[in-house]
Structure 1
């Protein structure tokens, strides 16, 4: 869809200021997103059900496209919008409340992924890191990221802002048992490579030609032993001895590049 075509779908007659401020938190079961890229991507995502948009007039004007005439918008100033988001979050004049995306099952991705590139995160809990990883996953064509439901951040504004729109693009599979999910990947023909600084082989040396699932652990602790045991190979990034390790989101971006250019 061209930008010209997109203009028909986003910006238009915004709502009227209805008086009063927001509650400062999302309604029960809802997701609150902020920032131009995150909000614009959510508005363009047909799978996302929207509830309400709070915005400055400048924020509305920054959107690429037009909102439907009856879209629920409440104009507010920047200070009021700041009360709706995380502390000191850069909302850029746009705060959207919407419903969470529908769950994505691993079997759907395994059945539909022709290129075979998955990113598995073992207890990466920082929403900034997960958002940045989603952004890199979108940039390098990963089919999905896979996390354990209990040890990953919730879908929300911090992830969405850090993902810069990728939250709406890259499927996020949340599983109960990450080890079992890795077994399912193996059964579907994936070669599972865990990134570990102590590995002998570099990632370039360990990469096969077929389907790949890259596995990354949390900063500091790395992958859990059970997850390491479910990898077909361990590999390291060839970084200088001057640095012990990289931030997990940076490591993910480099690893995704390596797979994309093998």
Structure 2
């Protein structure tokens, strides 16, 4: 299976579709990441702004992400705005909407995926971590960052070095920085 090929939407209890966008759930994670020996996964913890969500999907597609995992609640739905901003990312990258994000993260860990959460208070930089193997990048919500249980499920925490006066980056920009550091390391 090529990097951007998506498993066919199955007529089962797990997958659903809205237009050209197919949604999966926790039960599909093994199949979605199984197509790659070193899958790159993006986990968005309650990203609610449709512009940010769309931009994250666009970046995920460009980086070759195997699946984007989002909680069903407290996350932006895939609206026309999300689809427009994603420039095809919403249609190209499988999106797994899960009821319990912490449980889905545990399942990814059981499947051999190391989880790297982003947090301003982390002692290591994203550039100091090995992102070459099966890795899930965990991004927190606008403003609040990752929820406590989400952060506790991460194997590593990393921060993006900030040299200016602004306290943080927009979640979609931070997603791009982290995903493309993984892409850089894998080349």
Q: Find the aligned partners of 1:125 and 1:108 in 2 and give their Cα distance.
A: 27
Q: Which residue of 2 aligns with 1:94?
A: none
- Equivalent residue in structure 1 for 2:69, among 143, 146, 154: 146
Instruction: Note if 1:157 corresponds to 2:65.
Output: no
Instruction: Note if 1:109 corresponds to 2:32.
Output: yes
Superposed, 1:107-186 pairs within 5 Å as: 107-186=30-109
Mark the CA change 1:172 to 1:112 in structure 2 (over 3 Å): closer, same or farther. Answer: same
Q: Find the aligned partners of 1:147 and 1:139 in 2 and give their Cα distance.
A: 18
Q: Find the aligned partners of 1:146 and 1:223 in 2 and give their Cα distance.
A: 14
Given that 1:131 and 1:159 are in contact with CA atoms closer than 8 Å, whether structure 2 keeps it comes out as yes
Q: Which residue of 2 aligns with 1:69?
A: none
Mark the CA change 1:208 to 1:140 in structure 2 (over 3 Å): closer, same or farther. Answer: closer
**Superposition RMSD in Å:** 1.7
Q: Find the aligned partners of 2:142 and 2:71 in 1 and give their Cα distance.
A: 16
Q: Which runs of 4+ in 1 moved over 3 A?
A: 98-102
Instruction: Note if 1:197 corresponds to 2:120.
Output: yes
Question: What is the SS of the residue equivalent to 1:207?
Answer: coil
Q: Which residue of 2 aligns with 1:92?
A: none
Question: What is the SS of the residue equivalent to 1:150?
Answer: coil
Q: Find the aligned partners of 1:208 and 1:103 in 2 and give their Cα distance.
A: 26
Question: What is the SS of the residue equivalent to 1:186?
Answer: helix
Find the structure with the greater CA-based Rg: 1
Q: Give the TM-score, by structure 1 length.
A: 0.61
Q: Which residue of 2 aligns with 1:247?
A: 170
The aligned length equals 167
Mark the CA change 1:206 to 1:167 in structure 2 (over 3 Å): closer, same or farther. Answer: same
Larger mean CA deviation between 145-154 and 108-117 belongs to: 108-117
Unaligned runs of 5+ in 1: 1-45, 48-97
Q: Find the aligned partners of 2:131 and 2:63 in 1 and give their Cα distance.
A: 17
